[in-house]
Amino acid sequence: MNNYEKIKDNFFIYNNDDIEEFKKFINELHFNNILIYFYANWCGPCKKFFNRFEEITTKYNDILFLKINVNKCTDISIHYNILNIPTFKFINSDLKENYEIVGIDDNFINKKLLDISNNFNIIEEIKKINIRLDKIENQLKSRSI
């Protein structure tokens, strides 16, 4: 059985319960921001939100989205202290939790994702500005020689 099902470049259903394999998987994808949707197939609210979750993933290409079934991935669920479902965990690339939402609050999830995406865009713009400043500095140095 595959460790994951790729839905799109930033959206996977993850099926392996080994926490070390999970860490490797996250590191190989090179995303700074990750949203994990912990669910169960028998959970009514989870079933209702499945399609909506997939729709949300199309709005934020800079965020990795994972769906993890708590019944298949019990060690990962325990690692993230999942006590209720659905639960949404916002983590960074070091697998450290930044934020948690228990239950489905569509507006709040979108707000958190927008905040994360905006912060990412600001950081990317700062990197571009720094590159331009370095080029200008190099040009000025070459003129003074």
Cite the active site residues: 43, 46
Contact 73, 17 (CB under 8 A): yes
Q: What is the phi/psi pair of residue 89, to 5°? A: -115, 125
Q: Report how far residue 112's alpha carbon sits from residue 10's, in angstroms, rounded to the nearest whole number.
A: 17
Q: Report how far residue 13's alpha carbon sits from residue 36's, in angstroms, rounded to the nearest whole number.
A: 10
